[in-house]
Structures are given as structure tokens and as C-alpha cells.
Chain A
Amino acid sequence: MFEGRYYNGRDARAQRVECVGADAVLSIRGVDFAVQFACDAIRVTPRLARTFRTLFLPDGAQVQTDDNDAVDALFPRRNRLETLVEHLERHATAVAASIVISIAALVFAFAWGVPWFAERIAQRIPSEVERKIGDQTLATLRRTVLKPSKLPQDRRDALRARFAAFTRDIPGAGDYRLDFHAASRIGPNAFALPGGTIVFTDEMVQLLDNDDEFLAIAAHEIGHEQHRHLMRNVLQDSAVILIATLISGDVSSASAVVVSLPTFLLQSHYSRAFESDADEYAFAALKAHDISPQAFAEVMQKFIRKYPGLQSRSFAYFSSHPPTAERIWRATEAANSP
């Protein structure tokens, strides 16, 4: 027997009732009425912590009760999935396991799952699509920060020739394109775009003292192209945002602040991993062409002299690039190893 609040389905008036279940029949008795229904015809809401249950009666009326055990005894094997979930919620081991699963799954997904999937998908993206995306980006940059190069034509031709000679034996590098642009707002920089376009700013070229230094930077950007870092980066960033949105969907309190910091840290982490990969690729490619990776270290040194702030390690986790000192050290190490 259990007590409940009875609603007749026509108004908001609650009546105290006593319910008795026997032989798959539920008898409900109020002060001035009594009804009976077959238990099979009654819909019951699933159990959830200590909250009340509602029994929806076939005539549109309903009974709400806090006696969860009595309801479960009378209506066994209802809502199997939610009954199972409710058991999990009640057992300390299942709760502990959920904590472990959640943390482990998130760490695994972000450390390996997302990068693995992004790499597989990036390999399947046709090169025409990739090139189109690269052209789109370049067109936007040309409208905003990139201006026509002011370097002498023969300097550009010479660098293009060195680049072509360097990439001759690199598979897939045949249609890589070297672009020069004046970019006073960016300063000395070089970057790779999806589809094989590598951009050097005039300021970057002016910073370089010899062709080995030019090839050291070019090799780093070729590494980005060879590993399809650009597409992988796009895919990984999108995946991080999607997962973060899914998980935090129900966090109403300041969710933007709470989600954006870890999202940003993750994206920077991925970016640093790509930069390190591109560095390693560059060191190997340079050595294959009998150029010492020390040339890469030289360029980095110049950066540090020009921008002393780059040395600082305090924002290492916020940065899209590994600390410059570390990159120099790795380049020197690569130069000195056989």
C-alpha cells in the first residue's frame, strides 16, 4: 500500500489517496471515491533519485507518489534502460567508474582520438578542394594584410629556383608555389596555406642572410604541407569546439568563459605539436640536402634579437608555437647529430 496525490485530469485539485496493488490490479481509494485499473494499462515515469513518480491512469487522471520502492514492486520491468541507469547512479562503484571513464575518455579523445581522425580525414580531402581553400584564404589575406612584394624580381627568381631545386626530390612537392608579399603589419614571417602555397613576407626575406637560412624556413613550411597540418588544424579545431559545446550544453552558468579557456589551450597545444613536427621534418630535409639545421637556429636567434619577448616562457601554454629557445636547442642538436 502507498499514499499518493490524485488528480482527476480535469482540474488542478489534489486529493490524498491510498493505493493498493494486488493481482496486477491497482485499487485507488480517496475520501469519496474508489477506482481500479489493470496495472498493464498504467504508464509509469522512470525512477529518478528521490523525486516523485507519476502513474498515468487510462481515464486521463494521474497519481503522484514519493514511494519509489512500492511503485517498482508493483510495476516491475518497466523502463528497462532508465532502471539500469538509476542503478548505476545509486552505486558508488558505478559513479566512481563514470568519473574515471569520463576523464579517461576526454583525455584519450583529445590526446589521440581527435588528431587521429583529423589525419585520416585530411588525407581523404581531394587536393583540388584543399587548393581552393588555400586560394580563398590567400585572396582574403591579399585584401587585408598582404601587399604586392617590393623585392627585386631577380631576387625572387633566385629564391624560386633554390626552392624548386630543393623540392625536386620531395614527393608531391612539384606543384608547391612560392609567394612573396610585403606585409608591414605582420613583419618577418612565413606561412603555409592549404594546397601547397607557401608565403614569405618581404620582411622575412630581408631578415635572411643566405640561401641556407631561406631553405631552413622553407623546409619548415614544406613540412606543414607534407603533413597536411593546415587541414588537420581546421578539422581538429572544429572537433574541439563541437565536443566542448556538446559537453557544456547544459552548463548555463558562464559557460562561454568556462569552455573557451580549455578550448583555447587545447587548440594551442595542437598547434605547438604541428610546429614541432614541421621543425623535425625541416631538420631531416635540410640534412638530406647537406645543409646544416644550424641555419634554422640562426634565423631563430635573429628573431630573439629583434623580438626579445619571444624568449619568455611564462605564456608557453597559451602560445601557438613552442618556446623559441627550445626550437634553437633542437636545431643545434640536430645539426650536431650524425
Chain B
Amino acid sequence: MSEVTAPETSVAQASASAAAEPAPTPMPAVEYPFGFSGDAHEYFRIWIVNLALTIVTFGIYSAWAKVRTQRYFYANTRVADAPFEYLAQPLPILKGRLIAFAVFGTYSLSRHISPQVQLAMALMIFVLVPVLIVLGQRFRARYSAWRSLNFSFTGTIGGAYAPFFLMYFLVPITLFVFYPFMKAKQKRFLVENHRYGGITLAFRALDGDFFMPYLKGFGLIVAWWIGAAVGGGMIIAATMHGARTPSMVSIYAMVLLIYGGMFLVGIYVVSRVTNLLYNAIDIGGHRLRSTLGARELMGLYLTNTLAIVASAGMLIPWAMIRMARYRASRLTLLAHGDLDAFAAEASAERGAAGAELGHLFDVEIGF
């Protein structure tokens, strides 16, 4: 069950993100690779029935559909011979979706009524982002479990305003230099406020570790833009044949080139930052190792997108299963000691307070 793999993955990971290499510990870690056992055929049936029922109920069933989807993906993800479990009920999700639907609908209609109203709504949503994040994290953590113990999120709304609101004002002032540090603060806030059972997670990365991935991403984008402008401009100039305006085809191709490049660089940054994040998580002395590859992720995203477009959406389940399988295959639990020793949260009073609050705010707003 628990297999100790050769250290080759550690070497590859060390060269990929040396900054996040876990500090050497005296006890050798037992490696438990994550695994995903979902099957595209099986999930297609769940997905299409979900879609049909969502349509015939005018969207109401989408909350039940979400629970079934999440349960399927959680239950098929395993580590150390134990699956994850998603325990949320559909009704709070339905409530949250109705709220999101109303806000989103008003927002998109307000564009045509008055720009001032839309601006006001956009500002309101921006101000409420920390609230939505805390409620969402709380909801998701509480209804996620592994080996019968639930996760929980103890972050407060007030605490979320620094990383998820105030720091955004520092970004333009510092000419975006602060952006990676803000991202680090956000990840730190999210990780350090999570608990598994009675154990509070720790974040073992320096904020400065996040600087390099974003700097590299920025450099790649600038390089891509220059390349696209020079190369694309030359191609357009060569194909204009004296016409006064470039042809539509070359303009579409240019737009595709520019956005395609940003998309690929975005995936690169996401893979590096995700690795940093998981490699920094400390669960009572146990660590994670994430080795997502930027090129592999790009390949997955590109082929998934092509497959979905070419199949008119029918390969969406296949794409989701592939992605989950890849992500799980790149994650390993490094256990330093006994995994059975995780204990449920001891104090009863905090649980009661949580339940009380949950009653009022037990809602996951969004789609």
C-alpha cells in the first residue's frame, strides 16, 4: 500500500523550485503518492444526467449536480489508502447559487441601464471579495474529510481584508512589484487558517519565494509580445499586397497569437505557484510534494480545449477526469511519523460556535 518511491522525483522537484525544498528532517519520510481512480465513461453518465436534470429543472438541480460531481471527484482521490470525502448538502449550495445568479444578472443588465450603477455594483463586489472568500473556504473546508476527520477554516472576515483587499492598493503604487508578495500573503492566510481535525496547518515558505515565478512569467509575456509584434507585423506586411488595411484573417491570427501566449504563460505561473503552495504546507509535521510540470499542463489544457470544442462539449467529462488524474499523479504525501495519530478537534465549544455561525452563513456563493 505505502510504497517508497525512488528519490528521482525529489531531484526533479528540487531543480524545478529549489526555494521550496522542504527543510531536511532527521526522520526519513514515508512517501504516499496521491492517486485518482475516476473513469471518463463512468463520469460521463453522471455528468450528462446532471446536465439533463439541470436543464429540465431550469437550473435548480445544479446544486444537487454539484454535490454529486464533487463527491465523485473527492471519493476517487486517495492517499495512503484512504479516499477523500465531500459531505456538503445541496440546499446551501442552491441558496448561494441563487444569490450569485441575482447579483450576476443585475450586474450584466446594469451595463445597459447606467454605467454609474454598474460601477457601483463592481465596487460593491470588489469590497465583498474577502467575505466571499472566507465564506467559501469555510464551507468547502467544513465539508471536506479524509479518514473521517473534517477540515475546517478558522480565518475571519476581518483578517481576510488585509491580503484580499487592502494589499491590492499597494500593487499599482509599487508598479506591480508587490503583486507576488500579495499572492504569498493570500496563500499564507488561506493555509494557516486551515485545520485538519485538531491540527492547524503551517505555511513553510517565505513570501519572497513567490517573486521568481511571477518575474519569470512577466519576462516570458514581454518576450512573447515583442516576438509576436515583430514576427506578426512582418507576416502582415508581407501579406497585405498593397491593400490599405490588413486582412481580417491576419488580425484574428494576431489576436489569437497574443492571447494564446498569455494563456500559456498563465499556465506556467499557475504550475509553479501551485507547486510552491503545496510544497509549503505542513500538516502536523507531514508535508506535501507537488511536481506539476508547466509543459505537461499546457499540453493537457490545449488538448482538452480542442477536444471540448470539437466534440461540442461532450468530452468535458473526459477532460475533467484527465486533469484530476494528472494533478493527483503529481502530488505526494511525505509522512514523518504515524498518520493514525491525527486526532479530531478536542474542544467542543469551538465546534458549537462554528455550527451557530454556519447556520447563518452556511452558503457557498458562486457557480
Contact = CB atoms under 8 A, between A and B. Distances in A.
A11 B340 contact: yes
A253 B301 contact: yes
A12 B309 contact: no
B305 interface: yes
Interface in A95-147: 95, 97-99, 101-102, 105-106, 129, 132-133, 136-137, 140
Interface size of A as a range: 35 or more
Contacts of B304: 253-254
Nearest to A92: B45
Contacts of B342: 11-12
B316 A251 contact: yes
B49 A89 contact: yes
B222 interface: no
Interface size of B as a range: 35 or more
B41 to A, nearest CB: 10
B336 interface: no
Contacts of A254: 263, 301, 304-305, 308
Given A252-B320, A252-B323, A95 B48 contact: yes
A33 interface: no
Given A14-B82, A136-B113, A246-B62, A102 B48 contact: yes
A246 B59 contact: yes
Given A85-B53, A137-B112, 16 more contacts: A5-B82, A10-B343, A11-B197, A12-B343, A48-B68, A52-B75, A64-B148, A82-B64, A94-B49, A95-B44, A98-B53, A105-B55, A238-B105, A249-B367, A251-B320, A315-B248
A263 to B, nearest CB: 12
A309 interface: yes
A247 B320 contact: no
A9 to B, nearest CB: 6
Contacts of B320: 250-253
Nearest to A251: B316
A52 to B, nearest CB: 6
B344 A81 contact: no
Nearest to B146: A12
Residue among B69, B87, B109, B313 facing the most chain A CB atoms (10 A cut-off):
B313
Given A81-B64, A105-B55, A253-B305, A242 B105 contact: yes
A13 B308 contact: no
A9 B351 CA distance: 14
B302 to A, nearest CB: 8
A245 interface: yes
Contacts of B114: 136
B46 A51 contact: no
B83 interface: yes
B55 A102 contact: yes
B72 A49 contact: yes
A201 interface: no
17 contacts: A12-B149, A52-B75, A54-B85, A95-B45, A98-B48, A98-B52, A98-B53, A136-B113, A136-B114, A246-B54, A246-B101, A249-B66, A249-B367, A253-B305, A253-B320, A254-B301, A258-B313
Interface string B61-99: 010101011011001100000110101000000000000
Interface of B: 42-46, 48-49, 51-56, 59, 62, 64, 66, 68-69, 71-72, 75-76, 82-83, 85, 87, 101, 104-105, 108-109, 112-115, 146-149, 197, 245, 247-249, 263, 300-301, 304-305, 308-309, 313-314, 316, 319-320, 323, 339-344, 367
Contacts of B68: 48, 82, 85
Q: Rank and list the top 5 A-B pairs by shortest CB-CB distance, nearest first.
A: A7-B148, A249-B367, A51-B75, A98-B52, A12-B342
B319 A253 contact: yes
Nearest to B83: A52
Contacts of B75: 48, 51-52
Nearest to A136: B114
A14 B108 contact: no
A17 B323 CA distance: 35
A269 B367 CA distance: 27
Contact of B340 (A12, A140, A314): A12
A108 B356 CA distance: 45
B248 A309 contact: yes
Given A251-B308, A257-B263, A242 B104 contact: yes
A306 B253 CA distance: 25
Contacts of B43: 49
A294 B341 CA distance: 87
B140 to A, nearest CB: 14
Interface string A326-337: 000000000000
Contacts of A234: 109, 112
Contacts of A314: 248-249
Contacts of A88: 49
A62 interface: yes
Given A12-B147, A13-B340, A258-B309, A99 B48 contact: yes
A95 to B, nearest CB: 5
B42 A50 contact: yes
A101 B66 contact: no
Contacts of A54: 85
A97 B43 CA distance: 16
Contacts of A12: 146-149, 197, 339-343
A251 B104 CA distance: 18
Contacts of A81: 64
Contacts of B51: 98, 102, 247
B167 to A, nearest CB: 25
